[in-house]
Structure 1
Amino acid sequence: MSSSRFLAFAVLLASGPSVAVEPPWGEGKNLGQRMTLERTAVCTDGRGHYVTATSIPGRGQVQVFYGDGKRFTQVPLAPNHFYIPPGAFLDPRFSNPEANSNVNNSGLDLRPYSYVKADLKANTCAVTCGTRTTSLTLVEPGKARDLLLKATYGVSPQKFEPHALLRDTKGQYYLVERNTAASGQKGYRIFIGPRGRLKPQQMLNVVADSKGEIFSTKQGDLQLVLDREQPSLWIVRKRRMELRSVPVEQNLQLIYNELGVYTGARLGTPCDDL
């Protein structure tokens, strides 16, 4: 591998500054933007944490932003699915074990979804993270409008997300992450180690196609082969060891709470603090 390609990958590991986004109400100048402002709820816990919730007409979804009242990050929308309630967002650190884990045998798992529920008419607002619900106070409409127009907005701070998880017979895990859509980049990171102590690896993505991916160190003495049809492999020089695939969607709690890669990370959702 060329040194320039290796350097490019190393730079990719660092999270860049948050990219600015335009909120649904824009600058509040035209009628449509002003109407959006009026239906946007701004909630606070009184301790410097603010949540906004804006219903998206015709889509049954609610766009959520979270921040300190001056700077907000956009919380990625949950899939537009009939069984996912408006205001829901994915935060794998928290789980509601009583939620449906396989809606109508579709594979849809509602357990890792948290949500914001705001009702301007009833003057109520709350954030539910897993099984914990925090009641918030709605900001008075005039103050809310001023706050929304003065604040700045950025994309989610989460630059990577789980792509694949594997395990060997000794209990060592192999986590492959890929860049999120919000990051504006395309790349991978590799972490290897026992539960709670996974460490980042300096490995390059050398192959990515419909059959899988291959990652290698610069010298090629270590390789991780992800195969969609055959067993995946961890290769140390000429020694090959088969790896067991661990489904990501069914192991989000393990990945985010037990492997150590995401320990202390802020995902830019209300559940960071509430």
Structure 2
Amino acid sequence: MNCRHLLAASVTLLSSTSWAIEPPWGKAEKLKELRALEQTVVCTDNQGHYVVVAPKESNSKQLFYGDEKTLTQVIPAPWGISGNSFLEPRFFNKTANSNFRGHDMRVYSAVISEPEQKTCSLRCGEKTVPLTWVEADKAHALLLKAKYEPNPQQFEPYALLRDAQGNYYLVERGLQPGTEKSFRVYMGPKGRLKKQEMKDIVSDSEGEIFSTKKGELRLVVDRAATPVWIEKKRKVELRAVPVSENLPLIYNELGVYTTARLGNPCDDQ
């Protein structure tokens, strides 16, 4: 896969989403807000964690996760995927559809709620955890009292490369609107990638050049050129590794996300 295909796959990894965190019930003063509050499901693992399944426009759902004081917005799944689902590369479900409407569902987890039966469960990869339904009075009190915060993820994997010695080069890009030109570079062997101190970044129609104190990482978008790492005039050719096909590797094995919280219900599983 050349760099053009690598970057194209990377850019579509996460959909463009609204980052507003005002819950649909607001202050529960208007009829529409009261209706949203009544339609919202709250479940708990009885360990102080709560999962919220709230209504969203177009008959979809949106998720929040946290404790009694603070609920964090879970990054919505791309269009065409149930709002009960969320990207979760740390838990792999090998039995799921690898190409559902263009998305690899093996790296998605989900909250399953059955309002009629008053039951909930959380699926993280192949692991299913039963949750306890929170009755309406307590659920409404919690929802109206809690503080709502944006998802903690600030960056997403943008490009992954590897040299012949087994060293990896991971480039992250800003995830939230307005940060698309923010990049971070990590380098090193599997499990020990280290963040590089950036000196300069060039990003234009020709590609990206990431300058660090140790050298330069060059990605060329519009040419069939091999990406290279340049250190003290020594060029090392790199192999492009497709990001979308290697999310479990990136999140579980490279070391960059080992202790990171993704702001979703699988954080504590």
Going from structure 1 to structure 2, the CA distance change for 1:90 and 1:206 (only over 3 Å counts) comes to same
1:91: which partner in 2?
88
Give the residue type in structure 2 aligned to 1:227.
V
Deviations along 1:213-251, whole A, 9 cap, x unmatched?
101125xx6100011231111001222121110000000
Deviations along 1:17-56, whole A, 9 cap, x unmatched?
xx98311211111000010000000000111010000132
| Aligned: 1:50 with 2:45 | no
- Deviation, structure 1 residue 182: 6.7
- Deviation, structure 1 residue 183: 8.5
- Determine if contact 1:177/1:188 at 8 Å carries over to the other structure: yes
- Determine if contact 2:76/2:83 at 8 Å carries over to the other structure: no
2:128: which partner in 1?
133
2:75: which partner in 1?
76
Ranges in structure 2 where 5+ consecutive residues have no aligned partner: 1-18
Structure 2: how far apart are the matches of 1:183 and 1:149?
A: 30
Structure 1: how far apart are the matches of 2:30 and 2:131?
A: 30
Going from structure 1 to structure 2, the CA distance change for 1:202 and 1:154 (only over 3 Å counts) comes to same
2:41: which partner in 1?
41
Structure 1: how far apart are the matches of 2:73 and 2:176?
A: 13
- Deviation, structure 1 residue 212: 1.5
Structure having greater relative contact order (Cα 8 Å, sep ≥ 6) = 2
- Determine if contact 1:173/1:193 at 8 Å carries over to the other structure: yes
Structure 1: how far apart are the matches of 2:69 and 2:38?
A: 19
1:191: which partner in 2?
186
- Determine if contact 1:159/1:183 at 8 Å carries over to the other structure: no
1:144: which partner in 2?
139
- Determine if contact 2:61/2:82 at 8 Å carries over to the other structure: no
- Within a 5 Å distance, the mapping from 1:1-274 to structure 2 comes to 21-59=21-59, 61-81=60-80, 84-103=81-100, 107-181=102-176, 186-217=181-212, 222-228=215-221, 229=223, 230-274=225-269
Structure 1: how far apart are the matches of 2:72 and 2:180?
A: 18
SS in 1 for 2:185: strand
- Determine if contact 2:48/2:68 at 8 Å carries over to the other structure: yes
- Determine if contact 2:200/2:212 at 8 Å carries over to the other structure: no
- Determine if contact 1:173/1:192 at 8 Å carries over to the other structure: yes
- Determine if contact 1:158/1:183 at 8 Å carries over to the other structure: no
- Deviation, structure 1 residue 58: 2.0
- Determine if contact 2:113/2:120 at 8 Å carries over to the other structure: yes
**Identical residues among aligned pairs (%):** 53
Ranges in structure 1 where 5+ consecutive residues have no aligned partner: 1-18
- Determine if contact 1:20/1:154 at 8 Å carries over to the other structure: no
1:3: which partner in 2?
none
- Determine if contact 1:205/1:213 at 8 Å carries over to the other structure: no
- Determine if contact 2:65/2:74 at 8 Å carries over to the other structure: yes
Length-normalised TM-score, structure 1: 0.86
Give the residue type in structure 2 aligned to 1:256.
Y
Deviations along 1:3-27, whole A, 9 cap, x unmatched?
xxxxxxxxxxxxxxxx983112111
Give the residue type in structure 2 aligned to 1:21.
I
Give the residue type in structure 1 aligned to 2:77.
A
- Determine if contact 1:159/1:182 at 8 Å carries over to the other structure: no
Structure 1: how far apart are the matches of 2:262 and 2:103?
A: 22
RMSD of aligned Cα (Å): 1.8
2:11: which partner in 1?
none
Going from structure 1 to structure 2, the CA distance change for 1:112 and 1:201 (only over 3 Å counts) comes to same
Length-normalised TM-score, structure 2: 0.88
- Deviation, structure 1 residue 185: 7.2
2:13: which partner in 1?
none
Give the stretch that moved more between structures: 254-263 or 229-238: 229-238
Aligned length: 249
Going from structure 1 to structure 2, the CA distance change for 1:76 and 1:111 (only over 3 Å counts) comes to same
